[in-house]
Amino acid sequence: MILIKNVQIVDGSGQKPFRGDILIDKNKISAIRPVIDKKADEVFDGLGLTAVPGFIDVNTNSDHYLSLFTYPSQKDFLMQGVTTIVGGQCGASLAPLMYGSLVSIRKWAKSDLINVGWNKVSEFLDALRRIKIGINFATLVGHSTIRRDIVGEQIRDLTQSELDVFSKILEESFQEGAAGMSTGLAYIHSRSTPYSEIKTFVKLAAKHKF
């Protein structure tokens, strides 16, 4: 057990910071109190410094640059107190992939840096669990990623059949753990996307509580 004494605690509940102690048992916080009088393997004096919950960075590119795989510890975030990051930004995500292609992220990284062994969002998240990344990770579903798998490099409206396929993939991705959907309407492959298409997918996303 580890006991950290005499720190200014911001516990994330919304209440004002307070001076207290933190007890860590088996890598989990087991107690937060004004005074903890318990024997521990290690005792640290917090010297009145501030202890806060991990920060969430909601706009990261660790997936786009494939550093989730090439630098799985993600220590640069942890050193800044960030414990959760959200990827799949700008309409491009690493899943779902209908054909295993990373074409939608090639503006950020060379797609041959890693071997893709997944198609679905659930399979992608399982792959991250296997390599044991050092940070919590959530992904959005990239609009352009799915769209380019359906129509390739063509810049045109989707047919009704294609909209149905897109909606089915999106629904499955949400059910498998995706945290939402992102668009990148400033990029060339999505710039001409009609409002009706975005509305269809936003209405689908709105049915889910992420």
> Domain residues of the chain, as ranges?
2-51, 55-206
Q: Which CATH class is domain 55-206?
A: alpha beta
Q: For residues 178 and 142, what is the distance between their CA atoms, to the nearest angstrom?
A: 10
pLDDT digits (tens, 9 = 90+) for 76-115: 999 999 999 999 999 999 999 999 889 899 899 988 888 8
Q: What are the angstrom distances between the C-alpha of 63 and each of 10, 29, 192, 210?
A: 30, 29, 25, 20
Q: Output the tens digit of pLDDT for each of the chain's 210 residues.
A: 999 999 999 988 889 999 999 999 998 999 999 999 989 999 999 999 999 999 999 999 999 999 999 999 999 999 999 999 999 999 999 999 999 889 899 899 988 888 899 999 999 999 999 999 999 999 999 999 999 999 999 999 999 999 999 999 999 999 999 999 999 999 988 889 999 999 999 999 999 987
H or E element, residue 84: strand 82-87
Tell me the CATH number for domain 2-51.
Answer: 2.30.40.10
Residue 145's Cα: distance from chain center in Å? Answer: 16
pTM of the model: 0.84
Q: For residues 197 and 127, what is the distance between their CA atoms, to the nearest angstrom?
A: 31
